[in-house]
Amino acid sequence: MTVSRLASGWRIQRRVISALMIRELVTRFGRENIGFLWMMAEPLLFASLVGIMWRYMHGPEEHGVSITAFIATGYIPLTLFRQSVTRATKIFSVNGSLLYHRQVKILDFIFVRFFIEVIGAMMAFVFIAMILGVLNEFPVPANIGALIGGWFLYCMFVFSLCLVLAPLSELSDVLEKLMPVTVYISIPFCGTFTMVSWLAPQFQQFMLYSPFISPMELIRYGVFGDRVHAIWDVTVPISVTMVLMVIGLTLCRRIRRRLVVE
């Protein structure tokens, strides 16, 4: 009986999530011109423009790899992090009217918005790699497993962060106001512009405590292979992600009981 209830619950959630995805895409991007392809526009523009900027400021190569490709691989995960976290704030009150339908759960909101950002980022990543590849600025990925594993760990960490921030932003308005500056301050700890091995030895150990760093190193290793010296320790992102998920799910459950729906 519980198994069949689980199965029907899963079916309903799949239906709800796909309906919410379509709704989110239609409200955000509309049906005109390129439609939902806009979701990769932002990461794509950021990565290519910042890449070009660095290309002219620092020359074509740094530490033996193409600087444009290096910035592109770092900037797309960064926009994923920034966008997902921003979109997670106040997500329950913004979507409140959907809670009139009992099968719609608050976790669906977080998942759907995050998932759209992930798809956008992935599409942008593949797109930019192909364009730069044609221009001979982007190598054929050296280790697909490391690339996918790095992306996976990065995404899971960002998702667990959203799970915590979404309910917290409903509890306190201060959080929403502090968010942009906090994200900005955290950029040096995201591994966007550097590799751990480029840093002074006394900072290296310290940097590995940031959950962004190991996934980022894995992504870089997956793309550039042995041309970069990657250092990672996956226990940090995995354990931080698991702790945040437990906290986030508990908070979401608590918040749902108190949520005032207009």
Partner 1 sequence: MISCEQLSKSYPMGHGQKRVFTNLNLQVAPGQRVGLLGRNGAGKTTLIKLIGGVEMPTSGRVRREMSVSWPLGFGGGFQGSLTGYDNARFIARIYGNEYDQIREFVEEFSELGSQLKMPVKTYSSGMRARLAFALSLTIEFACYLIDEVIMVGDADFHRKCHYELFEKRGDRALILASHSPDLIRAFCDSALVLHQGQGMMYSDVNEALEVYSAL
Q: Which amino acid is at 200?
A: A
Q: How far apart are CA 20 and CA 184, in angstroms?
A: 30
Residue with tokens 């992306």: 151
Q: Which is nearer to partner 1, 99 or 179 (CB)?
A: 99
Please report how close the Cβ of residue 204 comes to partner 1 at its closest, in angstroms: 48
Nearest approach, Cβ of 85 to partner 1 (angstroms)? 23
Q: Based on CB atoms, which residue is closest to partner 1, 21 or 195?
A: 21
If the CB atoms of residues 21 and 85 are measured against partner 1, the closer one turns out to be 21
Closest CA to 228 of 145, 171, 146: 146
Report the candidate in 105, 97, 217, 86 with the shortest Cα–Cα distance to residue 161. Answer: 86
Rounded to a whole number of angstroms, the minimum distance from the CB of residue 257 to partner 1 is 4
Residues in the chain: 262
C-alpha to C-alpha distance for 242 and 156, rounded to whole angstroms: 9
Q: Which two tokens stand for residue 2?
A: 């519980």
∠ Cα 163 21 192 (to 5°): 55
Distance in Å, CB of 116 to partner 1, minimum: 16
DSSP state of 31: S
* Inter-residue contact 240 to 159 (CB < 8 Å): no
Q: How far is the CB of 96 from partner 1 (least distance, A)?
A: 8
Q: Judged by CB under 8 A, which stretch of 83-91, 130-138, 182-190, 254-262 contacts partner 1?
A: 254-262
Cβ atoms of residues 211 and 239 within 8 Å: no
Q: How many residues contact partner 1, by CB under 8 A?
A: 25
67-96 mask for partner 1 (x: CB under 8 A)? -----------------------------x
Min CB(98)–partner 1 separation in Å: 7
Binding status of residue 171 toward partner 1 by CB under 8 A: no
Alpha-carbon distance 176 to 166, whole Å? 10
Site string for partner 1, 97-136 (x = CB under 8 A): xxxxxxxx--------------------------------
Return the H-helix or E-strand segment holding 66: strand 65-66
Please name the helix (run of DSSP H) or strand (run of DSSP E) that holds residue 218, with its range, or none.
helix 213-224
Query: According to CB under 8 A, which one of 55, 63, 229, 256 is a site residue for partner 1?
Result: 256
Structure tokens at 154: 């990065």
Q: How far is the CB of 106 from partner 1 (least distance, A)?
A: 11
Give the x-and-dash track for 18-37 against partner 1 (CB under 8 A).
xx--xx--xx----------
Instruction: State which residue, 5 or 102, has the beta carbon closest to partner 1.
Output: 102
In angstroms, what is the minimal distance from the CB of 16 to partner 1? 5
**Chain contacts with partner 1 (rule: CB under 8 A):** 12, 15-16, 18-19, 22-23, 26-27, 96-104, 256-262
